[in-house]
Amino acid sequence: MATGTVICWVAWLFVLFNVSPDQAGLLGFLFFYTSLFLGIVGLFSVVGFLTKKRIAGQNEIIFRQVRRTFKQGILFACFVIIALILRQFSLLYWWNAIFLILLYLIMEGVLLSARKYSNRDYV
């Protein structure tokens, strides 16, 4: 996962420094946001996993920790990308930001409560 994250950040830097936003069109923005999304997912998944592994110790099954942190990384990356897209189109106002933060917190709460009350670890 760490190797894939580094590759995604290198791809994002390549797009950032070699693609002109004026001439890129839709495909350039798609590459920009996709590589940024994957880089954020990987970064927060790896950092979250290492943090949880250090806190939990060796008692927890590693695969469960990876799955949990991967879901949290995806959720956070969606939050960042949506905020950036709204900002790109000058639609990010304070009320949109508050709504987006509340939506993020609700989704995180749903994921946490689903994990807490599930007998199986499918969520």
Confidence (pLDDT) at 55: 79
Q: Which of 29, 18, 73 is nearest to 48 (CA)?
A: 73
Confidence (pLDDT) at 116: 60
CA-CA distance, 29 to 36, in Å (whole number)?
Answer: 10
CA-CA distance, 34 to 12, in Å (whole number)?
Answer: 8
Confidence (pLDDT) at 115: 64
CA-CA distance, 110 to 39, in Å (whole number)?
Answer: 24
Confidence (pLDDT) at 64: 73
pLDDT tens series, the chain, 123 aa: 899 999 999 999 999 999 988 888 899 999 999 999 999 999 999 998 888 878 776 666 777 778 888 988 999 999 999 999 999 999 999 999 999 999 999 998 887 777 666 555 554
CA-CA distance, 94 to 116, in Å (whole number)?
Answer: 33
